[in-house]
Amino acid sequence: MSVATMNIMAERCYIGLGANLTEPVAQLKRAVAALALLPATQLRQVSQFYSSKPMGPQDQPDYVNAVAAIDTVLTPQQLLAALQKIEQQQGRERKAERWGPRTLYFDILLYGQLQLNTPQLTLPHYGMKVREFVLYPLAELSPALQLPDGTTLTNLLSQVPLNGLQPLPLEAHSALCDRAQADS
Ligand code: ROI
């Protein structure tokens, strides 16, 4: 069955992307290209790429962050596994250090309106309400978004300052992102 014929069942998901090691902009571009190839999934939109100050330990490089919107019929667990595979392909090593620097990683921020609490996955993402590097890119894609608990993105944005978050120049934004936006 093609994705087109499965649209009724597809869930709109928002994925956070971040990296602060080994050419983070290139990492995010490759990550977007990989998202576009996920099975049973359509990449709909990608935010601008943003430079952001590290949350947590400050003795690490600034991050590059973005948010992507996908429609998928993968289950949350299948999506998580597929994203972890891409992270590994892009050199992610899971280290003991909490909140240390990292090559590409994905966070599933929202999976439709699903609320889930399992050891592997918490939905919505546990930290998304307070992270400027998630909220502002997300607002680019879906300014009227409401979380499953009824919180509006507008309300969250009014409480979370930019903290130095800055869109990167447009050339950092891959042609693939533009195509996803044009198609959506
Ligand atoms: N800080 C920023 N700005 N962006 C991130 O993606 C990010 N990711 C992390 C921690 C270490 C929490 N800090 C971050 O995992």
Condensed to tens digits (0 to 9), the pLDDT of residues 53-83 reads 999 999 999 999 999 999 999 999 999 999 9
| Alpha carbon of 173 to ligand 1 centroid (Å) | 20
- pLDDT value, residue 178: 56
DSSP string, the chain: --GGGGGGG-EEEEEEEEE-SS-HHHHHHHHHHHHTT-TTEEEEEEPPPEEEPPSS-SSSPPEEEEEEEEEE-S-HHHHHHHHHHHHHHTT----SSTT---S-EEEEEEETT--EE-SS-EES-TTGGG-HHHHHHHHHH-TT-B-TTS-BHHHHHHHS--TT-EEPPGGGS-HHHHHHHHH-
- Give the residue, out of 63, 129, 135, with the most ligand 1 atoms within 8 A of its beta carbon, to mutate for a pocket test: 63
pTM: 0.91
- Give the residue, out of 17, 64, 99, with the most ligand 1 atoms within 8 A of its beta carbon, to mutate for a pocket test: 99
Give the domains, in start order, of the chain with CATH numbers: 3-176 (3.30.70.560)
Condensed to tens digits (0 to 9), the pLDDT of residues 133-170 reads 999 999 999 999 999 999 999 999 999 999 999 999 87
